Structure 1
Amino acid sequence: MREEKVIVRVFDKEKDRHGAMAVEEMCEVGPSGKMSLFTHLCDPVSRVCHSPAFHMLVAETAGPEKQIVGLIRGCIKTATCGKKPFRCPAKHQTPIYTKLAYILGLRVSPSHRRLGIGLKLVKEMEEWFREKGAEYAYMATDKDNEASVKLFTGRCGYSKFRTPSILVHPVFAHRLSFPRRVTIRRLSIADAETIYRRRFATTEFFPRDINTVLSNRLSIGTFIAVFSNPRSKPDEWINAEEFLKNPPESWAVLSVWNSKEVFSMEVRGASRLRRALARASRVADRALQWLQIPSIPDLFHPFGLYFLYGLGGEGPRAVELVRALCARAHNLARDGGCGVVATEVAACEPLRGGIPHWRRLSCAEDLWCVKRLAEDYSDGSVGDWTKSSPPPSIFVDPREF
């Protein structure tokens, strides 16, 4: 192992942009093999700049010919880590919040790996987390990324915490339909916030600043689906408060985030045969859209995605309504020029059956690791979150995907 002095410092947007993006584009973000997935960022800080507090560090070689060989991003928010027990006198269950830090996009240049640069970047970022009062830090990685798992769980003191699934569906040339008996309505930001706070605020990882998320320029909209009532008029919606006073037996909701404006992705290493077959499927789909051929989009050049978040619902037929909402999101992505739509849900998510996806594009087990940073907590009922059992649902913040 060669010795080379590396300095970790704060990212300078003016002079470090190109060096940081070069490191990013050299690094795979999925399982390695004959085909690999790479990310192209619109801007190095674009993945975290929408969070309440964010920070970015770079690792740079010393000497006359300085070179950026590593980078790390971090952000901090207040999110739900549990809920008060049913004996709480409040009308609704009360969420327990914690100040939560997230590590996103740890990258080290392939030519400078196994030199301790990743460890140094993580330690420096954790110091910033502590200075800002974060109580926990967590990160996500592919469970098959042995180097990343070993670094965080072996050397940095993180524990394996949750194993959600990333579900990805291609965007076809044809539009997807859903049953006529399903009515889908776009909600105002105020109505969307009301429903999320009233029904999902106790969901693990729910962001306290959900209003900021919903009003962000990248949030395309929130949609609610119900089964049509032939006795009612379609314009009878008043507001979310009235809806929640007497909700239908089954309903579902989700929001759509425009990740295409932040980053694009590209599959590299595909054979000419795979590319030719994918191209043929697209040609047939465009020419014969009424046949609804499940074509493969052009994933071999940079493509964008829409991310589905805030997925939830209630009732015995909520899964059907989720399926209809996913079809609506697919059509939005088609009109927006995206290659795929994606979402991330808990391993035991009850509504998972309503989310269409292709196994070959999806990740059955993403790995989230967590670390306790603070010794004392603002709320004594929090306990040690790292030892809690996995809940049936989680809220995946689109700012951190």
Structure 2
Amino acid sequence: MGAEGVVVVREFDPKKDVVGVEEVERRCEVGPSGKLSLFTDLLGDPICRVRHSPAFLMLVAEMGMEKEIVGMIRGCIKTVTCGRKLTRNAKSNKPVPVYTKLAYILGLRVSPSHRRMGIGLKLVRRMEEWFRENGAEYSYMATDNDNLASVKLFTDKCGYAKFRTPCILVNPVFAHRVRLPDRVTVIQLAPSDAEVLYRRRFSTTEFFPRDIDSVLNNKLSLGTFLAVPRGTYSVQNFPGSDRFLDNPPESWAVLSVWNSKDVFTLEVRGASRVKRALAKTTRIVDRALPWLQLPSVPELFRPFGLHFLYGLGGEGPRAVKMVKALCGYAHNLAKARGCGVVATEVSSCEPLRLGIPHWKKLSCAEDLWCIKRLWEDYSDGSVGDWTKSPPGWSIFVDPREV
């Protein structure tokens, strides 16, 4: 192969690579086959989607004498829960989290004119080298189940196994505010209270980040919100998460909101003029007759932002209704901040997903997470090979990786 055909993989240089990376992003529209495609604009910072992780890296692939950028990949490393074990204290016998160092691959792009040349494989392998050098035990990636090329690359050539199939649920932000139920009180928790609540109740959930405090205190985190029956607690008399969890109400729910709008914007492409006209009509009618609370379609055919809901959880017979109230609260927050959609990702068997409003056309019923073990180490406390473990009821989706 001549010099003009040699592919060089190196670390992203923000001083000279931004334009080339943006061009590849534009040419690689992302979206499930047969559906409207989503174009992602990273707001001038191609590495911003992993910058908030404890350790991150972005690589680019360049080719030819002109060193044209033809591909890129992003990766990050963090410590998460991969399972749980029981304590040896016979009195408590409570489960405690088992942590592992996990790497995440995202944003793999290869220019359409340079595909089937092994560039994607070369980028993945170089990224995995960095993962191993930094002590990651596992690597995983997420893709749409219909993205056959991506699935084949990772499962057939890179040794990944299909692992989890969560759901991405997306709901439009309407022109009107969602009315919250009178029987529910929503309380915004301080980051310290949110951390206590998450660590006590969700630290054994798969993919729970050990540095949850960093997530909750990040400038992109808009807050953690707790829903309780009206009359139990208020903003003024909330006793703190420890006392709350020692004597919780019969039903409650919690979620946090992440401001992805300040990280990237999205744009729906591929819609016909008829669909665009119908969407515009729903917005006009909704503005003219707001009391009807019509489900209008927001302007999604130009760049729009989103808020991501994470840390979803709750208990009790009315927990689903509490989640629905929190989603309404999050919708109103997104409306006030000019977002086009609210999104979340949950396990396909998550019981609380019934309380999450979403549009099927915008959502993904089966996202696919593939995982690979990078090295073998069955040290004391290990749950064995996480890649072979059965799925649990819930997963914790880190908003820094969205």
Q: Deviations over 1:175-231 (max 9, x none)?
A: 00121110000000000000000000000000000000000000000000011127x
Structure 2 counterpart of 1:116, one-letter code? G
Aligned to 2:156: 154
User: Quick check: 2:185–2:234 contact (8 Å CA) kept in 1?
Assistant: no
Aligned to 1:244: 245
Structure 2 counterpart of 1:293, one-letter code? L
Aligned to 1:181: 183
CA distance in 2, matches of 1:158, 1:309: 26
Q: Deviations over 1:338-390 (max 9, x none)?
A: 11000000010010100010111100000000000011144443200000001
Aligned to 1:330: 331
* CA positional deviation for 1:93: 1.7
CA distance in 1, matches of 2:272, 2:178: 29
RMSD: 1.6
Aligned to 2:210: 208
Aligned to 1:59: 61
Aligned to 1:303: 304
Q: Deviations over 1:283-328 (max 9, x none)?
A: 1112221111100011111111000000000111100000000000
Query: Are 2:261 and 1:260 equivalent residues in the alignment?
Result: yes
After superposition, the Cα gap between the structure-2 partners of 1:92 and 1:174, relative to the gap in structure 1 and judged at 3 Å, is same
Q: State the SS of the aligned residue for 1:130.
A: helix
User: Quick check: 1:26–1:38 contact (8 Å CA) kept in 2?
Assistant: no
Q: State the SS of the aligned residue for 2:25.
A: helix
CA distance in 2, matches of 1:233, 1:239: 11
CA distance in 2, matches of 1:91, 1:383: 21
Counterparts of 1:79-118 in structure 2 under 5 Å? 79-85=80-86, 89=90, 92-118=94-120
Q: State the SS of the aligned residue for 2:86.
A: coil
* CA positional deviation for 1:282: 0.8
Counterparts of 1:10-49 in structure 2 under 5 Å? 10-33=11-34, 35-42=36-43, 43-49=45-51
Aligned to 1:354: 355
Farther off after superposition, 340-349 or 265-274: 265-274
Aligned to 2:365: 364
Q: Deviations over 1:63-96 (max 9, x none)?
A: 1x22101000000000000000376645632100
User: Quick check: 2:79–2:99 contact (8 Å CA) kept in 1?
Assistant: yes
CA distance in 1, matches of 2:235, 2:303: 40
Farther off after superposition, 317-326 or 14-23: 14-23
User: Quick check: 2:86–2:94 contact (8 Å CA) kept in 1?
Assistant: no
Q: State the SS of the aligned residue for 1:7.
A: strand
TM-score by length of 2: 0.96
Counterparts of 1:124-139 in structure 2 under 5 Å? 124-139=126-141
Q: Deviations over 1:268-293 (max 9, x none)?
A: 12111111110111111122211111
Aligned to 2:200: 198
CA distance in 1, matches of 2:189, 2:107: 32
* Residue 141 (structure 1) aligned to one of 129, 143, 165: 143
CA distance in 2, matches of 1:93, 1:322: 25
Q: State the SS of the aligned residue for 1:55.
A: strand
User: Quick check: 2:283–2:297 contact (8 Å CA) kept in 1?
Assistant: yes
* CA positional deviation for 1:133: 0.3
* CA positional deviation for 1:171: 0.4
* CA positional deviation for 1:235: 2.6
* CA positional deviation for 1:28: 2.1
After superposition, the Cα gap between the structure-2 partners of 1:80 and 1:270, relative to the gap in structure 1 and judged at 3 Å, is same
After superposition, the Cα gap between the structure-2 partners of 1:17 and 1:233, relative to the gap in structure 1 and judged at 3 Å, is closer
CA distance in 1, matches of 2:112, 2:77: 28
* CA positional deviation for 1:24: 1.4
CA distance in 2, matches of 1:213, 1:142: 25
After superposition, the Cα gap between the structure-2 partners of 1:32 and 1:299, relative to the gap in structure 1 and judged at 3 Å, is same
Farther off after superposition, 260-269 or 168-177: 260-269
CA distance in 1, matches of 2:306, 2:261: 5
CA distance in 1, matches of 2:62, 2:84: 43
* CA positional deviation for 1:234: 5.9
After superposition, the Cα gap between the structure-2 partners of 1:380 and 1:198, relative to the gap in structure 1 and judged at 3 Å, is closer
Aligned length: 399
CA distance in 1, matches of 2:242, 2:93: 15
Aligned to 1:229: 231
Aligned to 1:76: 77
TM-score by length of 1: 0.97
User: Quick check: 2:40–2:267 contact (8 Å CA) kept in 1?
Assistant: yes
Percent of pairs with identical residues: 70
CA distance in 1, matches of 2:234, 2:280: 45
Aligned to 1:382: 383
Structure 2 unaligned blocks of 5 or more: none
Q: State the SS of the aligned residue for 2:128.
A: helix
After superposition, the Cα gap between the structure-2 partners of 1:298 and 1:379, relative to the gap in structure 1 and judged at 3 Å, is farther
Aligned to 1:165: 167
Q: State the SS of the aligned residue for 2:18.
A: helix
CA distance in 1, matches of 2:379, 2:103: 16
Q: State the SS of the aligned residue for 2:249.
A: coil
Structure 2 counterpart of 1:357, one-letter code? H
